[in-house]
Amino acid sequence: MRQVYRISALFSAVAAIFSIAITANPAQAQIETSFGTFAPMVAGTTNYVFRGISQSRKGPALQAGLEYTYEVGSLTPYLGTFLSSTKFPSNNTPAGSTNIRQPRELDLYGGIRWKTPLDGLAIDLGYISYIYPGNTADQNVSGGPNTYGNPQWNEAYGKFSYDFGLATAVGSAFYAKDFSYGSGNGLYYEGGFDVPLPLSFLASARLGRQTIDRNATWGTPDYTTWNVGLSRDMEWPFAFSAALVYSDTNIKKNASLGFDNVGNSTPTIGSDTYEQTKGQISFTLSKKF
């Protein structure tokens, strides 16, 4: 019942945000200026999943973002930010009774998109910082050091999409020199397809792979993740997007996030109490202005 209440509260909050947004002047919501465009976004999801792992203990999350773009012919430089509520395991740490807090995520990103001369092919190159304001993962808490290290990290990325009519092929690669919690080099690469369906639905499928230098420091072995989804842009009662996605990984039981004992001389990976890495469904409502 508590989970049902949390989801109900989430969507009540999202509905309130949406109701405010649609009463605003559309020209004021997406701000067009002589030096570029500012586009805000709000969203609510039943489960915030990132690379196959729940960032909210399979619970709801509220999200928002703002992106600035400036078109120069076939090139579009951009800067953006993304904010989400998060909830990570915190009941077992190397410092004993010390609790880990990471209540929110703030991403700052920028890059350039290029519509290439080859019809249907677009390329995106950029850089992103994942920040957790207010986190206590690398602080001295409760009289002892917390040996988890800094959860924040940066990545350089490249993406492509190619629309060949019946479907769009997509691919991306993200590289971090110092991945989250000081776990060394991290590489994530992903590919998949988006397929238009009747009644304006869009089907999607993705297959990805995350590799990490120091697995026990991070909390999982190298792993494969995949997801399939169905989405649709809605026009009633106002313009928004809805998406239903099933995600999963190949991480085995007792080898996943939650109880990685990084304080030991020989780090080990323990069990995942909240089953953040297992098969899970998320339903998301979002609106871009």
Q: Does pLDDT of 4 surpass 50?
A: no
- Is 0.85 surpassed by the pTM of this model? no
- The pLDDT assigned to 150 comes to 83
**Cβ partners under 8 Å of residue 172, min gap 6:** 157, 158, 159, 160, 189, 190, 191
- The pLDDT assigned to 235 comes to 84
134 burial (CB, 10 Å; 0-12 / 13-18 / 19+) is exposed
Which percentage of the chain shows pLDDT scores above 70? 74
- The pLDDT assigned to 256 comes to 57
Q: Give per-residue pLDDT as tens, 109-167.
A: 999 999 999 999 999 999 999 999 988 776 655 545 555 678 899 999 999 999 999 99
Integer angstrom CA distances of residue 220 from 130, 163, 171, 256:
19, 35, 23, 5
Q: Give per-residue pLDDT as tens, 187-225.
A: 999 999 999 999 999 999 999 999 999 988 888 889 999
CATH number at residue 121: 2.40.160.40
Q: Average pLDDT in the 75-96 region? A: 78
- The pLDDT assigned to 71 comes to 95
Is the pLDDT higher at 184 or at 236? 184
Q: Average pLDDT in the 21-36 region? A: 60
**Which domain, by its residues, includes 95?**
2-288
Query: How many structural domains compose the chain?
Result: 1
Q: Does pLDDT of 261 surpass 80?
A: no
